[in-house]
């Protein structure tokens, strides 16, 4: 992951420099940004260090973003950075972890959950934000492309309402799932399956991944739609492709 996200980013940026590319929009992630201690929405200037980052993926995104910023400072890389939050919407083919949550909740197959906080944005708004950053972004600046902040229980309630199913009722503590995470990781390593819960995801669930996109809205004209629209479009697509049964 470090090789792909950090070294891969550095090589791609260097190739762009050598080719004389006039402007770059680098897609980072809110995973590379800091979080506030009191759970209020973070912005592009919220302090962050490597020690604050949980998990290999987020660390790789943080280091890759720092490498882009270094190349901007030292070699004049013409890059604008965007930091999408949690994209939701149609054409989630794999699906992503968030898409899988929508499938599970929308199908009525998630009886319990661990509380957390996240920022939900329509995937089409993230795409539009990239274009706006290309056209209006300032070289070396970062722009959060987010939407609405939700506690996970409230987000699952929204999914259930749109899908017309009962929401998950049981809220579990992170500590209760630690043994389950250990077993899940062991099974994943032994049988090559995707773990449904890991110690890393439990540690991240303790953080409220709340963000504000005010800078992108004021400087780029970014205008994200309500999270309900993103959920509705996602559920429609999943139903059309047989991931969620028709109601």
Whether 187 maps to a domain, the answer reads yes
* 127-176 pLDDT per residue, tens: 999 999 999 999 999 999 999 999 999 999 999 999 999 999 889 877 76
Looking up residue 142, the CATH number of its domain turns out to be 3.40.50.720
Number of neighbouring beta carbons within 10 Å of residue 110: 20
pLDDT along the chain (247 residues), means of 10: 97 98 98 94 96 91 98 98 98 95 95 93 98 98 98 97 94 76 83 80 76 98 98 98 84
Whether 247 maps to a domain, the answer reads no
In this structure, the chain runs to a length of 247
Whether 102 maps to a domain, the answer reads yes
Query: Which domain covers residue 154, as residue numbers?
Result: 2-240
The pLDDT, as a whole number, for residue 203 is 65
Whether 246 maps to a domain, the answer reads no
The pLDDT, as a whole number, for residue 99 is 97
Residues 6 or more apart in contact with residue 200 via CB below 8 angstroms: 54, 55, 56
What is the number of structural domains in the chain? 1
Q: What totals of helices (H) and strands (E) does the chain contain, helices first? A: 10, 8
The pLDDT, as a whole number, for residue 200 is 75
Whether 106 maps to a domain, the answer reads yes
Number of neighbouring beta carbons within 10 Å of residue 118: 24
The pLDDT, as a whole number, for residue 202 is 62
Whether 141 maps to a domain, the answer reads yes
* 2-15 pLDDT per residue, tens: 999 999 999 999 99
Whether 49 maps to a domain, the answer reads yes
Assigned token pair, 96: 């992503």
The pLDDT, as a whole number, for residue 228 is 98
Pair 198, 181: CB distance under 8 Å: yes
The pLDDT, as a whole number, for residue 64 is 98
Residue 194 sits at φ, ψ, to 5 deg, of -80, 120
Whether 213 maps to a domain, the answer reads yes
Q: How far apart are CA 10 and CA 67, in angstroms?
A: 7
Is the pTM higher than 0.95? The answer reads no
Q: How far apart are CA 38 and CA 161, in angstroms?
A: 29
């Amino acid at each position: 992951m470090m090789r792909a996200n950090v070294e891969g980013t550095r090589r791609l940026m260097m190739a762009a420099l050598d080719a004389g590319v006039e402007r770059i929009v680098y897609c980072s992630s809110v995973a590379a940004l800091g979080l506030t201690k009191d759970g209020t929405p973070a912005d592009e200037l919220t302090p962050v260090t490597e020690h604050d980052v949980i998990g290999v993926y987020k660390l790789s995104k943080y280091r890759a973003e720092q490498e882009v910023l270094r190349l901007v400072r030292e070699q004049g890389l013409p890059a604008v950075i965007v930091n999408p939050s949690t994209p939701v919407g149609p054409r989630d083919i794999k699906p992503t972890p968030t898409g899988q949550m929508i499938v599970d909740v929308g199908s009525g197959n998630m009886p319990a959950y661990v509380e957390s906080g996240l920022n939900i944005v329509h995937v089409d708004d993230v795409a539009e934000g990239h274009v706006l950053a290309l056209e209006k972004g300032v070289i070396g600046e970062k722009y959060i492309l987010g939407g609405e902040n939700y506690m996970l229980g409230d987000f699952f309630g929204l999914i259930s309402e749109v899908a017309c199913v009962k929401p998950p009722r049981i809220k579990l503590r992170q500590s209760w799932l630690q043994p389950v995470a250990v077993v899940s990781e062991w099974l994943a390593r032994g049988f090559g399956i995707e773990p449904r819960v890991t110690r890393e995801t439990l540690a991240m669930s303790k953080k409220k991944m709340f963000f504000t996109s005010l800078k992108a809205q004021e400087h780029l004209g970014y205008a994200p739609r309500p999270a309900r629209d993103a959920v509705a479009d996602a559920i429609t697509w999943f139903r059309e492709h047989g991931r969620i049964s028709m109601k």
